[in-house]
């Protein structure tokens, strides 16, 4: 086995393999007895089990979404009917809800997160920067059901009583801010998601900004730029792929978020232009309806949406990883 | 105003804004903590921690079984996820060639990206249905599967960080490969590995979605692991969306307990890690 | 070092063995695994409609028979039916009786046991309005169809002349999960509104023309309580316990009736004879001067064959207790007790379970 480990295979030292097949077997058995092969095999089995479990998962999802794939085909993704009585299902309202809430979340979280990251990477003294980053990363550890609870009891009433009427009176000419105000809806879900993904954007962006070689910054300052100009026009563009990567990471997290969303989104499978309207997301509908989906077509339609969500988050996570690697890699290779 | 002054003003304003962003983000966390401590603390009581839930609509119930249930689920999750992730990480760091480790890392990433609700679907189809029962095992397995990629990555990372010289020293003293790994490399990396494990456990302790159709729920103590069991996150969810004020109060208290445990684990893990870092340097 | 590694391997081996032993210890085969001798846990799931009385019953029965623990999860009638079909619970509960087509989907036979009568009513939260509103069938259908959008619509102000209804938008709340309560509500609307029947139909889950979704009766009452200008449909006990006002509904005789034990019992009065043949009846929009139009029996779905003897004894014991002692507790929680004739039918049906 061609091992790239830094370990020399010292089990063969001093024990040349005797000629012939029998000799090779005997040599293998001796190496086995010494324990190294056993260790290799055991760890290999565990590693292989990871691959097997994941394959099983994908297989199960695919197999259990066969009915709607055959019945509806690609039309499933562009139909907006969700009718359990007449057995007609379309994923569009849920895809719409998932995308809209994530978009709102990013619109708020990206400026906030990147701005805070700039502050922590460029301006704050290292001790404060580390301390604050520590605190903000704790935000990422808060369970989502707690965000949901805070959403129901605090955010939704505030939205319904103060924020939404204010938005309606000032920006009500936009279709985004029209219609009845319930408190729950796309806006509430988007805001809760924003709070949940800001730590990801902040943490990764900060690291990426710190990885930018100091010469870039110094060159800009030497040319007479202000601190802000050096940051915004030189450092940030340099780190842009990595920041973009953090956005993808945040997006992947937002798309799959279940509990906090289902508690504040209103649970209505409808496409509306207004952010005040209630909606539904893929993860939320699965959580609400999976145990009771009457009939295989219904349940498998839910599973098909789960599969789609999974594929989407996987792609996003992969892209994010590449982008972040590209930036930090670039930084270190020049340094 | 000339160009230079304008640029200075922009400089000041924008940098100030970034400070505001940082402040805003930090204050959200403090606000969450503060509100939970206030509300949760108000309703946290000995009854809450030691009693079982009472029939719907009556007051005076508690979440003792939910706390124990969460513990049971974490036990199963740890029993499954930690060894697999750890051993897999050892494999990736110490053994293996080119293609297979790449495959392992790729699928671990895939597993990591699975939305937690989809993990619940998976556990339902492969554990609950064949077992003909909701159970702590099913919930624990779903959580355990979520642990694996995190533990895998952190184990590999910290094992690789152990300097080559330590491995070579062990070999020079005549140890086998596995001996060197078990007695030298792993202990050297153990702090980082342990923090990875602790952080991953803290992360899944708060997961609700995978439990909805696996461990289900139970107003009584669940015996063993093959019965449905109550758990803190699911109770918080059920109580919070209801209309009973008493249930709301209990949800706050449960939220405080859950958050306190999760944050304690996180802070503890990071402190272990930073001590390790400074001791390595020193 | 030797001792350290040896003990590590030893520990790992022991943990593995214990864990494997827990997982793979032999169990008798049955729809759901049994539990050691003295403590018997039975798992059930279903309707949220009767959840308050069921949770009281299971608790009282547990006090009388401490070794029996019935774990009932109120996930909605749809959930109860599905999980019973999948074999993950020992029995189910549903407000909607299963028709023959649905029963055919099961791999085993079921017995329907009516347990109590409940009423579904429109509950609302209108700031400044504490009066009891009168709703006509047309008004309810119109609101839920999304045709009537404001509280001061003539269909609402007409029957309520003394009430100052505001011009606010009506926030409609319905169930987001598969619900027998939804079935009762939509069954009623289908009977009184041909347009509803044509466009939406009746089932545990329907395609709602408008509104927010709450999970369970609990979720709907929670949403109504927290959302001004909202209207939702909930079981009687949920409205009472959460101090939500609920309205009167016009029945088939043209009178506005408020849901109560008396009016619900009146609605069920005529049903007993029909139930001799088949307990699965619909009593929405029932004839009778005093009948409340939106009520229903709720059913426990028990498999005809229960292979585990201990479970069978516990379940039939509970059913017996429920029909004799349990019925007395129903009215305390505002559920109607079963008419005597129906109790007799049920008691006879217990012998069907073996």
Domains defined along chain B, listed by start: 49-278 (1.10.3720.10)
The tokens 């939804």 sit on which residue? Answer: C182
Pick the residue of A288, A299, A301 with the most C CBs within 10 A to test the interface with C by mutation: A288
The pLDDT value recorded for residue C9 is 54
Q: Hey, what are C163's tokens?
A: 């009430």
Q: How far is A334 from chain B (nearest CA, A)?
A: 22
- Chain A residue with the nearest C-alpha to that of C176: A267
Please, which residues have CB within 8 angstroms of residue B203's CB and are 6 or more apart in sequence? A141, B146, B150
Q: Hey, what are A263's tokens?
A: 């508690």
Low-confidence ranges of chain B (pLDDT < 50): 280-282
Give the 3-state secondary structure percentages of chain B, helix then strand then coil, rounded to 5: 80, 0, 20
Q: Is C15 on the interface with B (CB under 8 A)?
A: yes
Residue A311 has pLDDT above 60, yes or no: yes
Residue C13 has pLDDT above 60, yes or no: no
Residue C26 has pLDDT above 50, yes or no: no
* Cross-chain residue pair A61–B258, CB shorter than 8 Å: no
Please, which residues have CB within 8 angstroms of residue C74's CB and are 6 or more apart in sequence? C45, C46, C47, C48, C51, C54, C55, C216, C218
Report the pLDDT averaged over residues A79-89: 80
**What interhelical angle do A296-334 and A186-211 show, nearest 10?**
20
Report the pLDDT averaged over residues A253-264: 91
C-alpha closest to that of A98 among A276, A299, A292, A262: A262
Task: Please give the Cα distance from C74 to B85 (Å, whole number).
Answer: 36
Task: Please give the Cα distance from B5 to C12 (Å, whole number).
Answer: 69
Residue A61 has pLDDT above 50, yes or no: yes
Please, which residues have CB within 8 angstroms of residue B213's CB and are 6 or more apart in sequence? A290, A291, B120, B121, B123, B124, B128, B134
**Residue positions counted in chain C:** 354
Of residues A255 and C10, the one with the higher pLDDT is A255
**CA-to-CA separations, C96 to A85, A187, A274, C210, C340, in angstroms, rounded:** 14, 36, 36, 23, 21
Most confident of A285-289, B238-242, C142-146, C209-213: C142-146
CB C264 within 8 A of CB C152: no
Residue C264 has pLDDT above 70, yes or no: yes
The pLDDT value recorded for residue C194 is 94
Task: Please give the Cα distance from B148 to B157 (Å, whole number).
Answer: 14
Please, which residues have CB within 8 angstroms of residue C86's CB and are 6 or more apart in sequence? B129, B132
Q: Where is average pLDDT lowest: B47-61, C66-80, C220-234?
A: B47-61
C-alpha closest to that of B241 among C224, C139, C316: C224
The pLDDT value recorded for residue B58 is 80
The pLDDT value recorded for residue B281 is 43
Mean pLDDT, chain A, whole residue set:
85
The pLDDT value recorded for residue A6 is 52
Neighbour-count burial for A278-315, b at 16+ CB within 10 Å, e otherwise:
bbbbbbbbbbbbbbbbbbebbbbbbbbbbbbbbebbbe
Q: Where is average pLDDT lowest: A146-160, B260-274, C314-328?
A: B260-274
The pLDDT value recorded for residue A18 is 65
From the list B83, B223, B241, which residue is nearest C39 (CB)? B223
Question: Which subunits count as partners of chain A given 3+ CB pairs below 8 Å?
Answer: B, C
Band (A327; pLDDT cuts 50, 70, 90): confident
Task: Please give the Cα distance from C87 to C107 (Å, whole number).
Answer: 10
Kindly list the residues from chain A whose CB atom is less than 8 angstroms away from the CB atom of residue B241: 152, 263
**CA-to-CA separations, B25 to A115, A120, B22, C11, in angstroms, rounded:** 10, 12, 5, 44
From the list C43, C55, C222, which residue is nearest B56 (CB)? C55
Q: Hey, what are B155's tokens?
A: 């184990």
Q: Hey, what are B105's tokens?
A: 């890392």
Backbone dihedral angles phi then psi of residue C250, each to the nearest 5 degrees: -75, 130
The pLDDT value recorded for residue C18 is 43
Residue C16 has pLDDT above 70, yes or no: no
Q: How far is B135 from chain C (nearest CA, A)?
A: 10
Around B5, how many Cα atoms within 13 Å sit in the side-chain half-sphere?
2
The pLDDT value recorded for residue C321 is 94
Q: How far is C48 from chain B (nearest CA, A)?
A: 11
Band (C299; pLDDT cuts 50, 70, 90): very high
Parallel, antiparallel, or unpaired for β C171-175 and C230-235? parallel
The pLDDT value recorded for residue A111 is 94
CB C247 within 8 A of CB C122: yes
The pLDDT value recorded for residue C24 is 41
pTM of the predicted model as reported, rounded to 2 decimal places:
0.84
The pLDDT value recorded for residue A189 is 95
- Chain B residue with the nearest C-alpha to that of A313: B113
Q: State the ipTM, two decimals.
A: 0.87
* Cross-chain residue pair A314–B28, CB shorter than 8 Å: no
Helix, coil or strand: residue A133 = helix
The pLDDT value recorded for residue C174 is 92
Task: Please give the Cα distance from A156 to B144 (Å, whole number).
Answer: 34
Kindly list the residues from chain A whose CB atom is less than 8 angstroms away from the CB atom of residue B126: 56, 60
Task: Please give the Cα distance from B246 to B275 (Å, whole number).
Answer: 43
Of residues A34 and A273, the one with the higher pLDDT is A273
Q: DSSP code of A279?
A: -
**CA-to-CA separations, C230 to B69, B127, C214, in angstroms, rounded:** 37, 41, 12
Report the pLDDT averaged over residues A64-77: 88
Q: Is C202 on the interface with B (CB under 8 A)?
A: no
Task: Please give the Cα distance from A267 to A276 (Å, whole number).
Answer: 13
Residue A17 has pLDDT above 70, yes or no: no
* Beta-carbon count within 10 A of A160 CB: 20
Q: Which CATH superfamily is domain A75-331 in?
A: MetI-like (1.10.3720.10)
Backbone dihedral angles phi then psi of residue B134, each to the nearest 5 degrees: -75, 150
Task: Please give the Cα distance from B137 to B122 (Å, whole number).
Answer: 13
Report the pLDDT averaged over residues A321-331: 72
Residues 148-187 of B with CB under 8 A from C: 179, 182-183
| Rg for chain A, CA atoms, rounded | 26
Mind listing the pLDDT tens digit for each residue in C117-167? 989 999 999 998 888 999 999 999 999 999 999 999 999 999 999 899 999
Backbone dihedral angles phi then psi of residue C72, each to the nearest 5 degrees: -105, 125
- How much of chain A, in percent, has pLDDT values that exceed 90? 36
* Beta-carbon count within 10 A of B56 CB: 24
What is the location of CATH 1.10.3720.10 in chain A? 75-331
| Rg for chain C, CA atoms, rounded | 24
Report the pLDDT averaged over residues C178-207: 89
Q: Is A116 on the interface with C (CB under 8 A)?
A: no
* Beta-carbon count within 10 A of A17 CB: 12
Band (A261; pLDDT cuts 50, 70, 90): very high
Task: Please give the Cα distance from C163 to B210 (Å, whole number).
Answer: 48
Backbone dihedral angles phi then psi of residue A182, each to the nearest 5 degrees: -105, -15
């Amino acid at each position: 086995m061609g091992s790239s480990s830094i370990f020399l295979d010292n089990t063969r030292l001093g024990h040349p393999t005797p000629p012939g097949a029998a000799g090779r077997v005997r040599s293998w058995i001796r190496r086995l007895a010494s324990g190294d092969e056993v260790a290799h095999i055991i760890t290999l089995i565990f590693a292989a089990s990871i691959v097997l479990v994941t394959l099983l998962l994908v297989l199960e999802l695919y197999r259990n979404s066969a009915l709607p794939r055959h019945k509806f085909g690609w039309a499933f993704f562009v139909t907006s009917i969700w009718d359990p009585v007449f057995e007609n299902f379309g994923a569009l309202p849920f895809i719409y809800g998932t995308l809209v809430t994530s978009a709102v979340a990013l619109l708020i979280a990206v400026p906030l997160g990147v701005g805070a990251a700039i502050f922590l990477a460029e301006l704050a003294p290292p001790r404060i920067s580390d301390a604050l980053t520590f605190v903000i990363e704790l935000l990422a550890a808060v369970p989502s059901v707690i965000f949901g609870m805070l959403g129901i009891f605090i955010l939704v009433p505030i939205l319904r009583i103060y924020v939404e009427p204010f938005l309606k009176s000032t920006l009500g000419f936009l279709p985004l801010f029209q219609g009845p105000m319930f408190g729950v809806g796309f806006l509430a879900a988007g805001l809760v998601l924003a709070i949940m993904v800001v730590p990801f954007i902040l943490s990764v962006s900060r690291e990426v900004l710190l990885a930018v070689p100091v010469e870039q910054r110094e060159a800009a300052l030497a040319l007479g730029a202000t601190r802000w100009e050096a940051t915004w026009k030189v450092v940030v563009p340099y780190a842009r792929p990595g920041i973009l990567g953090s956005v993808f990471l945040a997006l992947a997290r937002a798309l799959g978020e279940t509990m906090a969303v289902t508690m504040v989104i209103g649970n209505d499978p409808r496409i509306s232009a207004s952010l005040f309207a209630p909606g539904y997301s893929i993860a939320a509908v699965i959580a609400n309806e999976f145990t009771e989906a009457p009939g295989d077509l219904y349940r498998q339609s839910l599973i098909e949406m789960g599969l789609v969500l999974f594929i989407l988050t996987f792609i996003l996570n992969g892209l994010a990883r590449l982008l972040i690697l590209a930036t930090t890699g670039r930084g270190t290779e020049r340094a | 105003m000339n160009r230079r002054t304008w640029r200075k003003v922009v400089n000041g304003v924008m940098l100030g804004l970034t400070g505001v962003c940082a402040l805003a983000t930090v204050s959200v966390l403090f606000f969450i903590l503060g509100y939970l401590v206030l509300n949760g603390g108000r309703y946290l009581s000995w009854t809450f921690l030691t009693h079982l839930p009472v029939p719907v609509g009556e007051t005076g119930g508690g979440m003792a079984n939910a706390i124990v249930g969460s513990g049971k689920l974490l036990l199963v999750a740890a029993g499954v996820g930690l060894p697999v992730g750890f051993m897999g990480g050892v494999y990736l760091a110490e053994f293996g060639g080119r293609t297979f480790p790449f495959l392992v890392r790729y699928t671990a990433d895939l597993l990591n990206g699975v939305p937690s609700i989809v993990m619940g679907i998976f556990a339902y189809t492969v554990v609950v249905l064949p077992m003909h029962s909701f159970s702590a095992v099913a919930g624990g397995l779903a959580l355990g599967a979520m642990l694996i990629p995190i533990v895998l990555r952190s184990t590999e990372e910290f094992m690789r960080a152990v300097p080559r010289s330590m491995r070579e020293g062990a070999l020079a003293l005549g140890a086998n490969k596995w001996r060197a790994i078990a007695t030298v490399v792993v202990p050297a990396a153990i702090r980082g590995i342990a923090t990875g494990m602790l952080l991953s456990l803290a992360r899944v302790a708060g997961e609700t979605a995978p439990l909805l159709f696996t461990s289900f729920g139970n107003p009584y103590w669940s015996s063993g692991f093959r019965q449905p069991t109550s758990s803190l996150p699911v109770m918080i969810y059920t109580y919070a969306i209801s209309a009973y004020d008493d249930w709301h109060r209990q949800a706050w208290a449960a939220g405080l307990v859950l958050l306190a445990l999760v944050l304690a684990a996180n802070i503890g893990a990071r402190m272990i890690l930073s001590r390790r870092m400074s001791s390595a340097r020193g | 070092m030797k001792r350290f590694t040896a003990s590590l391997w030893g520990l790992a081996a022991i943990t593995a063995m214990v864990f494997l032993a827990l997982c793979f210890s032999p169990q008798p085969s049955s729809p759901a695994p049994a539990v050691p001798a003295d403590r018997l846990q039975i798992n059930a799931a279903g309707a949220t409609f009767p959840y308050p009385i069921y949770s009281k019953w299971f608790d009282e029965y547990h006090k009388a028979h401490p070794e029996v623990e019935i774990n009932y999860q109120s996930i909605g009638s749809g959930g109860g039916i599905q999980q019973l079909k999948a074999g993950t619970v020992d029995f189910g509960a549903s407000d909607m009786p299963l028709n023959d087509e649905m029963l055919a989907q099961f791999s085993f036979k079921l017995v329907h046991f009516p347990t109590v009568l409940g009423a579904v009513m429109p509950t609302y939260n209108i700031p400044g309005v504490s009066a009891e509103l009168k709703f006509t069938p047309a008004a309810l259908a119109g609101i839920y169809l999304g045709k009537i959008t404001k509280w001061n619509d003539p269909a609402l102000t007409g029957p309520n002349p003394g009430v100052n209804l505001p011009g606010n938008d009506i926030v409609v709340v319905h169930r987001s999960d598969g619900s027998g309560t939804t079935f009762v509500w939509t069954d009623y609307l289908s009977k009184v509104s041909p347009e509803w029947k044509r466009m939406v139909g009746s089932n545990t889950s329907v395609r709602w023309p408008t509104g927010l979704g709450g999970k369970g009766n609990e979720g709907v009452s929670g949403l109504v309580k927290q959302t001004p200008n909202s209207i939702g449909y909930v079981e009687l006990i949920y409205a009472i316990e959460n101090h939500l006002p609920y309205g009167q509904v016009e029945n088939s005789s043209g009178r506005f009736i408020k849901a109560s034990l008396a009016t619900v019992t009146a609605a069920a009065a005529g049903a007993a004879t029909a139930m001799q043949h088949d307990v699965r009846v619909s009593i929405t929009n029932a004839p009778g001067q005093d009948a409340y139009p939106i009520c229903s029996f709720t059913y426990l779905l028990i498999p005809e064959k229960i292979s585990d003897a201990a479970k069978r004894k516990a379940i039939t014991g509970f059913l017996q207790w429920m029909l004799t002692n349990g019925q007395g507790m129903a009215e305390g929680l505002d559920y109607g007790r079963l008419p005597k004739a129906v109790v007799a039918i049920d008691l006879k049906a217990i012998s069907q379970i073996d």
